């Protein structure tokens, strides 16, 4: 069972996205407007960059927030076939050092990830088992996310949104960016932005108005085998969630089993800690 849980933990959080669509119309429907001509590969539109920065600055100013993500991602098989998987996740953030992600996979199995500055924990209730890594010293959320990815092979989709500077990494590697146009998603007016970095092709939909929140993201990983695709719809944004300490604290129920994490390719006994 322990081996199975370690596999489940990796599969649950396997998609790494720094921020981390086709629809067939009927003949009777009006034709879609022509897409704008894409710029040269090296062109960066200042207006597109301004939209990205505006969203980042808005999130940067929030001390607590929560949102829901309905995401899907490709898993490339050995023969090159792509299979789509997905889940719904509810993120709760309290800066500078708290994160909780409650997830429900499409097969109905739930699991929860907890960061509280002192430990990283993944709880899989269907197996009544959890994996726990205690940190040697208290860490902020930025450092904990880095440790989770680098030491424990836990990839947190849309991790960039949770960091102190939500757009720093993507802007650092930006090669092109332009505004596709205005669109509406689930009743929310948005600006559709396309961008490219050295590794991804990305599309982002930012809400217009006073809260320029990310509503949808599509990422194609050009440098990965099979060029898998990740997409997510973000909703239920709130800036007044319950962020009491208890929200980010896990109390094992009776009979719950603690299992090992894998740290940098080696199994770690539950009593050990990852070495930053």
What count of other Cβ atoms lies within 10 Å of the Cβ of residue 129? 21
**Which domains, from first to last, does the chain contain?**
2-17+42-243 (2.50.20.10)
Residue 9 has pLDDT above 80, yes or no: no
Percent of the chain with pLDDT over 90: 74
Segment among 33-37, 125-129, 152-156, 180-184 with least mean pLDDT:
33-37
Interval 78-94 mean pLDDT: 96
| Tens of pLDDT, residues 88-144 | 999 999 999 999 999 999 998 999 999 999 999 999 999 999 999 999 999 999 999
- Tell me the three-class secondary structure of the chain, residue by residue: CHHHHHHHHHHHCCCCCCCCCCCCCCCCCCCCCCCCCCCCCCCECHHHHHHHHHHHHHHHCCCEEEEEEEEEEEEECCCCCEEEEEEEEEEEEECCCEEEEEEEECCCCEEEEEECCCEEEEEEHHHCEEEEEECCCCCCHHHHHHHHHHHHCCCCCCHHHHCCCCCHHHHHCEEEEEEEEEEEECCEEEEEEEEEECCEEEEEEEECCCCCCEEEEEEEECCCCCCCEEEEEEEEEECCCCCCHHHHCCCCCCCCEEECEEECCEEECCCCCCCC
Predicted confidence band of residue 191 (pLDDT cuts 50, 70, 90): very high
Residue 19 has pLDDT above 60, yes or no: no
| Tens of pLDDT, residues 29-52 | 334 455 555 545 459 999 999 999
| Tens of pLDDT, residues 61-72 | 999 999 999 999
| Tens of pLDDT, residues 252-266 | 999 999 998 876 544
- pLDDT value for 98: 98
**In this structure, are residues 219 and 75 in contact, taking their beta carbons and an 8 Å threshold?**
no
Model pTM? 0.81
Q: What CA–CA distance (Å, rounded) separates 173 from 15? A: 19
């Amino acid at each position: 069972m322990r081996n199975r849980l370690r596999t489940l933990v990796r599969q649950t959080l396997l998609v790494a996205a720094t921020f981390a669509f086709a629809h067939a119309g009927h003949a009777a429907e009006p034709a879609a407007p022509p897409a704008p001509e894409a710029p040269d590969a090296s062109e960066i539109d200042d207006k597109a960059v301004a939209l990205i920065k505006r969203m980042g600055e808005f999130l940067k100013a929030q001390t607590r927030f929560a949102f829901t993500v309905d995401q899907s991602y490709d898993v490339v098989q050995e023969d090159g076939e792509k299979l789509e998987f997905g889940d719904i996740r509810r993120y709760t953030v309290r800066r500078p050092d708290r994160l909780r992600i409650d997830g429900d996979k499409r097969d109905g199995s739930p699991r929860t990830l907890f960061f509280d500055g002192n430990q990283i924990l993944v709880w899989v209730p269907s197996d009544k088992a959890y994996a726990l890594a205690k940190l040697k010293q208290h860490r902020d959320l930025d450092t904990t996310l880095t440790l989770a990815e680098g030491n424990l092979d836990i990839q947190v989709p849309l991790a960039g949104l949770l960091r102190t500077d939500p757009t720093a990494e993507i802007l650092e590697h930006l090669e092109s960016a332009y505004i596709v146009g205005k669109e509406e998603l689930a009743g929310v007016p948005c600006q559709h932005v396309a961008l490219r970095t050295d590794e991804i092709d990305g599309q982002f939909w930012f809400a217009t108005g006073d809260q320029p929140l990310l509503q949808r993201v599509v990422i194609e990983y050009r440098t990965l085998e099979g060029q898998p695709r990740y997409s997510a719809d973000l909703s239920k944004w709130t800036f007044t969630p319950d962020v009491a300490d208890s929200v980010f604290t896990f109390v094992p129920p009776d009979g719950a089993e603690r299992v090992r994490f894998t740290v940098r390719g080696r199994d770690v006994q539950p009593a050990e800690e990852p070495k930053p």
